[in-house]
Amino acid sequence: MRDVVIIGVGTTKFGELWESSLRDLAVEAALKAIDDAGCDRIDSLWVGCMSCGLFNGQEHLGALVADYLGRTPMPACRVESACASGGMALRAAWMEVACGQSDVVMALGVEKMTDVSGGKATYALAAASDREHEAFHGVTFPGLYALIAVDHMHRYGTTREQLADVSVKNHEHGSHNQYAQYPHKVTREQVMSSTMVADPLRVLDCSPISDGASAVIVAALDESRSLTKNALVKIAAIGAATDSLSLHQRKDLCEFAATIEAGERAFKTAKLSPSDIDVAEVHDCFTISEICVTEALGFFERGRGGPAASDGATRLGGKIPVNTSGGLKSKGHPVGATGIAQVYMLTKQLRGEAGPVQVKNARRALAQNMGGTGSSNVVTILESGS
């Protein structure tokens, strides 16, 4: 297995991008990554996208993006793993380079979600749940994560205020992100008085419907120095795991078992532990999600993720800064792009290019991207100084 490094990254703005199509967004992010790398060579392309067929009526996305990038006849393929599609696309690109099949590969994530009604968007997103046993009976993702939140609150004493503090912290970070969908600060009171969605989750506990794309170019370490002048960021490990699709089939509603497994695999491969990580981007599709994920990854003990959000442990300057990009909550959540966007931000952190949210002396970073109620998980560990 060869060492694999990131040589270029690019992203679009996230939001309601009425004037940009699915292919426009994909090409914009890809060209920005190529420009960042200073390398016009791409041997292969993996496109992460959850539901372009339902949102846009467009399948066969690999060939479409390769065509509009002017890169045919290179191999290109779409990857789908619900909201973990971007992370899985990066995993495919990483494996292709590591095994020696290609030297330079692009992983791109994209989703165009706002061209349909709210009802149709809800229907499309529900495809990531168990359609027969959950969605058919009217259970939406806010409802499922509300169940997780209620269980966590009952078992560990997690409070409504602690949930709100996750949102406050992520909007504070996101206020510095020029690409964020909602780059503004919110207060605890605003979160707690916002519209109820699924008790106890309110609208400011929930990530938005978003359009956007992000891209990462990876290369073999021994080839990279001739390709780019950027500081190199090594992919130390990628761990992946799955769990039951239906939430009701889990032994523990608020333990993300697949996150635990994917994290353990990544830490073992990288020969690191949670205490070695300087900065993390995790999948905060709902505020309770960030709390559960930080526990599952070993950053905090079970039941301590809520207090950590309130005492500043996950803020910039805290024990483990989490979601310095603003997370899904503030940055936005174009579902196929999210996993790549996390790595975009962490690459900037490890290069020392994160501006106002730069974590001092950041050397190791972790991205956690998941689909459904944690049914599919990807954990990526990055290192600087390769």
Q: Are 323 and 360 in contact (CB under 8 A)?
A: no
Q: Are 315 and 172 in contact (CB under 8 A)?
A: yes
For residues 301 and 170, give the distance between their C-alpha atoms in angstroms, rounded to a whole number. 21
pLDDT tens sequence across 188-241: 999 999 999 999 999 999 999 999 999 999 999 998 989 999 999 999 999 999
**β-pairing verdict for 211-220 and 201-202:** unpaired
pLDDT tens sequence across 280-301: 999 999 999 999 999 999 999 9
- Kindly state whether residue 226 falls inside one of the protein's structural domains: yes
Quick one: which of 26, 70, 20, 21 has its CA closest to 48? 26
225 φ/ψ angles, rounded to the nearest 5 degrees? -65, -25
* Annotated catalytic residue 83: yes
215 φ/ψ angles, rounded to the nearest 5 degrees? -140, 145
Whether residues 33 and 160 fall in one domain: no
Whether residues 245 and 214 fall in one domain: no
pLDDT band at 141 (very low <50, low <70, confident <90, very high): very high
User: Has residue 243 got a pLDDT over 70?
Assistant: yes
Which residue out of 152, 171, 173, 333 is catalytically annotated?
333
Q: pTM here? A: 0.98
Whether residues 167 and 147 fall in one domain: yes
Output the CA–CA distances (angstroms, integers) from residue 344 to 54, 166, 258, 355, in the order listed.
27, 21, 23, 14
Q: For residue 108, give the 3-state DSSP assignment.
A: strand
Across the range 275-279, mean pLDDT stands at 98
Across the range 126-133, mean pLDDT stands at 94
Pull the structure tokens for residue 366: 């972790």
Residues in the chain: 386
- Kindly state whether residue 80 falls inside one of the protein's structural domains: yes
Share of the chain above pLDDT 70, in %: 100
Pull the structure tokens for residue 76: 């290109």
Whether residues 27 and 112 fall in one domain: yes
Res 385: pLDDT = 76
Quick one: which of 241, 214, 209, 4 has its CA closest to 99? 4
Quick one: which of 360, 380, 364 has its CA closest to 275? 364
Domain harbouring 246, CATH code = 3.40.47.10
For residues 301 and 282, give the distance between their C-alpha atoms in angstroms, rounded to a whole number. 16
DSSP 315-382: STTSSS-B-TT-HHHHH---TTTHHHHHHHHHHHHHHT--GGGPPTT--EEEEEEEETTTTEEEEEEE
pLDDT band at 249 (very low <50, low <70, confident <90, very high): very high
> Domain limits at 154?
128-208+236-384
**SS3 assignment for 301-326:** CCCCHHHHHHCCCCCCCCCCCECCCC
Whether residues 250 and 137 fall in one domain: yes
Res 10: pLDDT = 98
- Kindly state whether residue 122 falls inside one of the protein's structural domains: no
| Residues in Cβ contact with 361 at an 8 Å cutoff, skipping those fewer than 6 apart | 278
Whether residues 240 and 229 fall in one domain: no
Q: Which residues on neighbouring strands pair with residue 364, listed in sequence order?
A: 383
* Annotated catalytic residue 333: yes
Res 134: pLDDT = 94
Across the range 105-124, mean pLDDT stands at 95
pLDDT band at 386 (very low <50, low <70, confident <90, very high): low
- Kindly state whether residue 123 falls inside one of the protein's structural domains: no
Mean pLDDT of the chain: 97
pLDDT tens sequence across 143-162: 999 999 999 999 999 999 99
Res 225: pLDDT = 87
Across the range 21-41, mean pLDDT stands at 97
Across the range 240-263, mean pLDDT stands at 97
Output the CA–CA distances (angstroms, integers) from residue 101 to 77, 80, 382, in the order listed.
15, 21, 22
Whether residues 137 and 89 fall in one domain: no
For residues 314 and 305, give the distance between their C-alpha atoms in angstroms, rounded to a whole number. 9
Which residue out of 39, 49, 52, 83 is catalytically annotated?
83
